[in-house]
Amino acid sequence: MLRTMLGPLRMYYSMPSRRKKERPANLPLKVKLTLDADFSFVDVAQEIYPFLILLPNLAMPDELTGDVTEGERGAKVKTLWIRAASFRDGIMPHLEKLARHLGVAYIEPQAHFIAPPFFRMLAKIAHAFAVAEMGVQSFQPFLLPIILREETENNVQYIGGISGTEPACEALHELVLIPRQGPSKDVVAVRIRLLALLETPTYFVAVGRQAR
């Protein structure tokens, strides 16, 4: 999921990748050659490709609030945070210049979001970071069913985020361990913010119960 969701971003921001040599030189872009034409696709160099970033807006996990979320508790998302990539001149001027460059009348940037792999990605990041910071025996893990067996039916118990958006920062990502959370003050949580320099949503993941 991380590779699928952040693939274009890796190229745009020159982020590290184990498969850098496999990055495509061009990506398909949805366009109209004339305003009356049907949509078609043209290949565009990845350096100038106008892509969108989609991230879910989530409520705080029940494990940290003590609440019991009613209704859907699985890997479902009600709303998405959507932004265009940060081009030097802004997305609309970039699209106008790109349309002139390609000789097309209209460009429709596209993006896809698949919820279960995204939640699983957050679980992997949070669990691995907590183990690295505290040690594997320091807490009783919550997330192994999600990580190992892809059981995402109860995501809201452990994975969520804050309402609203925090200010952008200079760091590309933010990752912070927060022990002693929740009503019982014995839950280990990890704060995750991917692409924080773009003013993205902040996520909190309850990784486990602190060992006594």
Q: Which strands sit side by side in the sheet containing 26-32, from one edge to the other?
A: 39-45, 26-32, 106-107
Do 84 and 50 sit in the same domain of this protein? yes
Ranges assigned E (strand) in the chain: 26-32, 39-45, 52-57, 79-84, 106-107, 139-141, 159-161, 174-181, 187-193, 203-210
Of 107, 137, 154, the residue at which a domain comes to its end is 107
Looking at residue 1, what is its pLDDT? 44
Whether residue 98 sits in one domain with residue 12: yes
Last residue of a domain, one of 107, 134, 159: 107
**What's the domain range around 69?**
2-107
Q: Clarify whether residues 131 and 59 are in a common domain.
A: no
The answer on 102 and 10 residing in a single domain is yes
Please give the pLDDT value at position 2: 43
Domain count, the chain: 2
pLDDT per position as a tens digit, 99-114: 999 999 999 988 888 9
Backbone Cα Rg of the chain: 20
Residue with tokens 């990539």: 85
pTM: 0.81
Dist CA 109 CA 205 (whole Å): 31
Question: Strands 52-57 and 159-161: what pairing?
Answer: unpaired
pLDDT tens string 149-192 = 999 999 999 999 998 888 888 888 999 999 888 888 999 999 99
Instruction: Among 41, 73, 107, identify where a domain stops.
Output: 107
Q: What is the pLDDT along the chain (212 residues), one digit of tens a residue?
A: 444 445 555 555 555 556 666 678 888 999 999 999 999 999 998 888 887 889 999 999 999 999 988 888 888 888 999 887 656 667 788 889 999 999 999 999 888 889 999 999 999 999 999 999 999 999 999 999 999 999 999 999 999 999 888 888 888 899 999 988 888 899 999 999 998 888 899 999 999 999 87
Asked whether 119 and 152 are in contact (CB, 8 A), the reply is yes
